[in-house]
Amino acid sequence: MEELGNIAVFLAGWNSEYQTRLINGIIRKAKEANYAISIFTCQAGSEISDKHVLGENKIYSLANLSRFDGVIFATNTIWEKTTKEEIIRRIHHAGIPAVSFEEKVEGLSLIGIDNYKAMREMIEHVDSHGYHPIHFVAANATNEESNIRQKAFEDFVEEKNYSTEDYTVWHGDFSFDSGVQVVDAMEEAGKIPRALCCVNDEMALGACNRLKQLGYQVPQDIAVTGFDGSYDTQRYIPGITTVDRPKETLGYTAMQLLLQEIETGKKQELILSSRVAVHESCGCVLEDKKRVVSAIETLYLEKKENEKYTYQIRNMEDEMMECESLDELIFCIRQNIGKFTTEDVYLCLNKSIYYEMTGRGNSILRNRTITRDYENKIYITKLNNEDGMPEFYSFTSEQMFPAMWNGRGSGEYLYMPVHFRDNCLGYMILTGTLDTKHIPNYYVWIRNISNALEKLKNVSELRNAARNIDNMAVRDSLTGVYNRMGINRFVVDMVKQANTSRRRLLFIFADMDGLKKINDEFGHEAGDQAICLAAEALQEAFCEKELIIRYGGDEFLVVSDALCWEQAEEKKAQITALLKQWQRDEKLPYRLSMSIGYYQKEPDTEASMEQYINWADERMYEMKCKNREQRK
């Protein structure tokens, strides 16, 4: 059964429990409605460097919203303000239905919980124990959920006429480590309170852990509460009292709202209920020995699993860092990827990165075209369940993943950035029946692959620079293929050896159609672009063993001792198809095509190099005349 439509999901922090459970709910409803889901996600948080955040957030720019029927935007998971604003701008520009999580966005439907009411109930619960003073740990001021929860605390303090000096607000960033840092700051200031209400579970867990290290008992000396209802609050000792919000239900219902808007055009706001989940850290519940035993068993099993995972990831990292070519790296990843995921995995590289690593084209031009964005042309290869030499195929980045649109893919796609700091290398796609319990592990091995690619890119740049200095005299400065000097260096000896050893040799002569017209009507820059695309098509079709030479202004010569005439016909068809595809993808205002002829030197044929080239040229001219007749 074909999918009824395609939905894009924007979400950050995909290795966190809240996000993975949202995804579970979204996917469950999408399957019921027979919709395909594309999740664009990264691991950009406030605790990592600005350049790394830029590299992570770049994945959102990949989404071509003109191809989607709607968007689910986990607004509350994306920290960086400009990134969030740009996503909202693009949703408005696309004019498609969209649902926002927890934050009101003009023109978008809304789903969430009543953060104010939930936090107020938590604070009143803690206050009912007679704990004074109570301190509050908020997050970054740019986060709307944190601000609402903080206001609930501040309103409570004001209504109770409590002193704001005693009822202090501290700030973290939602992370475990920031909970640790807040406790250290309180200890240094001599202001350990009787109770600590945290804006989320991670900071509560970090605070509890640090308090115990400093010799405090929870809840006997200080009560601690969280917010979110994560699994870790139940596995920690003592269990953390928290606000349990219905994460999977939120995801499921968000998808419902979006489908209703797609059908009716009506926007909605829906606030779901949540509840205070009482455990041991507030002093309400005595220690549950069964839960403690279960938590210890779970922690032990997780420890053993993490030890195994750490060994595998380090082994993979060591092997990848030894790779000296892109093919070696792909082989290495193929051998290891099955240890981390059962989904189909694809690596997509920017054209400039792929060209650098494969030694194609002009090194000067490559360095100029490397950008911090996704380039128009992307090269893709599959990383698992593949035998033989790695094969890369090109497509335009606006397609994102061609299989998604031609029916070969499944209904779930996970897009993740491949980058080194703010240098955009490409992206990874996982598709299949996504197992969200494995998602938290993806970040480490994807980052290791990114680092290995960056190292290989740097090695390739040095190797290519040395090669190009050596080949400077025989390389065409515009296209990077050999110039006519390359004939003297390489082809003369090939012909001599073929004549002597009575071997076959294939000469392919290609001439661009209508280059003069392109120059006259669109300028010489357009003509140079057409020449470069023609050279690129030849490089795409032929492997490194074949010599590609720019023979004249718009003429190219290919010489091969491995191909036969049947394969030459296949190459002609491939080149013609590539040029047509690129003309369409690049939206060129001119026709992009080549006339191609070839001559095969048989074992018993012996002639001069010039004669072989002339024979191939004659066949090309015959083809050019034929093409002209067909265009009339």
Is residue 253 assigned to a domain? Answer: no
In the numeric block, the tokens 């140079």 are attached to 528
Indicate if 429 and 489 belong to the same structural domain: no
Query: How far apart are the C-alpha atoms of 38 and 33, rounded to whole Å?
Result: 15
For position 462, what pLDDT does the model report?
A: 78
Average pLDDT, integer, range 579-586: 88
Query: How far apart are the C-alpha atoms of 461 and 455, rounded to whole Å?
Result: 10
Instruction: List, for residues 313-364, the tens digit of each pLDDT value.
Output: 888 889 999 998 999 999 999 988 888 777 889 999 999 899 888 877 554 4
> Residue 286's pLDDT band (boundaries 50, 70, 90)?
low
Choice among 222-226, 440-444, 499-503 with the minimum mean pLDDT: 440-444
The b/e string for 464-491 (b: 16+ C-beta within 10 A; e otherwise) is beeeeeebeebbbeebbbbbeebbeeeb
To the nearest 10 degrees (0 to 180), the angle between helices 439-471 and 289-321 is 10
Is residue 165 assigned to a domain? Answer: yes
Give yes or no for residue 258 having a pLDDT over 80: yes
> Residue 181's domain is classified under what CATH number?
3.40.50.2300
Indicate if 193 and 159 belong to the same structural domain: yes
For position 271, what pLDDT does the model report?
A: 96
Indicate if 497 and 615 belong to the same structural domain: yes
The CA-based angle 318-446-34, given to 5 degrees, is 145
Give yes or no for residue 434 having a pLDDT over 80: no
Is residue 9 assigned to a domain? Answer: no
In the numeric block, the tokens 């001069």 are attached to 608
- Strands in 169-171's sheet, in edge-to-edge order, are 169-171, 134-138, 195-198, 223-225
Length of the chain: 632
Give yes or no for residue 409 having a pLDDT over 50: no
Indicate if 549 and 464 belong to the same structural domain: no
Q: Considering the chain, what percentage of its residues have pLDDT values greater than 90?
A: 56
For position 49, what pLDDT does the model report?
A: 63
Average pLDDT, integer, range 576-589: 90
The CA-atom distances, in angstroms, between 83 and each of 6, 421, 471, 502 are 23, 16, 44, 64
In the numeric block, the tokens 């071509």 are attached to 64
For position 366, what pLDDT does the model report?
A: 44
Q: Which of 469, 501, 528 is the last residue of a domain?
A: 469
Number of domains in the chain: 3
Instruction: List, for residues 526-582, the tens digit of each pLDDT value.
Output: 999 999 999 999 998 887 778 999 998 899 999 998 888 888 899 999 999 999 988
And the tokens for 92? 């408005």
Q: Is the peptide bond before 417 cis (omega within 30 degrees of 0)?
A: no
Average pLDDT, integer, range 228-250: 92
11 vs 312: which has the higher pLDDT: 11
Q: Which of 232, 259, 292 is the last residue of a domain?
A: 292
For position 388, what pLDDT does the model report?
A: 74
Average pLDDT, integer, range 239-259: 96
Choice among 174-178, 442-446, 468-472, 540-544 with the minimum mean pLDDT: 468-472
Query: How far apart are the C-alpha atoms of 56 and 13, rounded to whole Å?
Result: 10
Give yes or no for residue 454 having a pLDDT over 60: yes
> Residue 591's domain is classified under what CATH number?
3.30.70.270
DSSP states along 316-348: HHHHHHT--SHHHHHHHHHHHHTTT--SEEEEE
And the tokens for 362? 């002009």
Is residue 273 assigned to a domain? Answer: no
* Residue 316 C-beta-side C-alpha neighbours within 13 Å: 25
Indicate if 407 and 351 belong to the same structural domain: yes
Is residue 106 assigned to a domain? Answer: no
Give yes or no for residue 289 having a pLDDT over 80: no
Average per-residue pLDDT in the chain? Answer: 88
Indicate if 137 and 201 belong to the same structural domain: yes
Query: How far apart are the C-alpha atoms of 16 and 45, rounded to whole Å?
Result: 11
And the tokens for 589? 């205002």
Average pLDDT, integer, range 148-162: 96
For position 253, what pLDDT does the model report?
A: 97
And the tokens for 511? 């001439």
Indicate if 433 and 535 belong to the same structural domain: no
* Contacts of 164 by beta carbon, 8 Å cutoff, 6+ apart: 157
For position 618, what pLDDT does the model report?
A: 92
Indicate if 307 and 227 belong to the same structural domain: no
Instruction: List, for residues 49-108, the tens digit of each pLDDT value.
Output: 688 888 999 999 999 999 999 999 999 899 888 999 999 999 999 999 999 999 999 999
Q: Which domain holds residue 182?
A: 115-246+278-292
Choice among 346-355, 384-393, 413-422, 544-553 with the minimum mean pLDDT: 384-393
Give yes or no for residue 474 having a pLDDT over 90: no
Q: Which of 440, 469, 498 is the last residue of a domain?
A: 469
Indicate if 498 and 621 belong to the same structural domain: yes
Is residue 21 assigned to a domain? Answer: no
Helix then strand then coil, % of the chain, to nearest 5: 50, 20, 30
List the beta bridge partners of residue 135. Answer: 196
Indicate if 423 and 395 belong to the same structural domain: yes
> Residue 46's pLDDT band (boundaries 50, 70, 90)?
low
298 vs 631: which has the higher pLDDT: 298
Q: 158-161: long-range contacts at Cβ-Cβ below 8 A with a sequence spacing of 24 or more?
A: 160/127
Is residue 80 assigned to a domain? Answer: no
To the nearest 10 degrees (0 to 180), the angle between helices 326-337 and 289-321 is 160
Indicate if 452 and 595 belong to the same structural domain: no
For position 369, what pLDDT does the model report?
A: 44
For position 437, what pLDDT does the model report?
A: 65
Indicate if 453 and 520 belong to the same structural domain: no
Is residue 252 assigned to a domain? Answer: no
Choice among 226-240, 359-373, 576-590 with the minimum mean pLDDT: 359-373
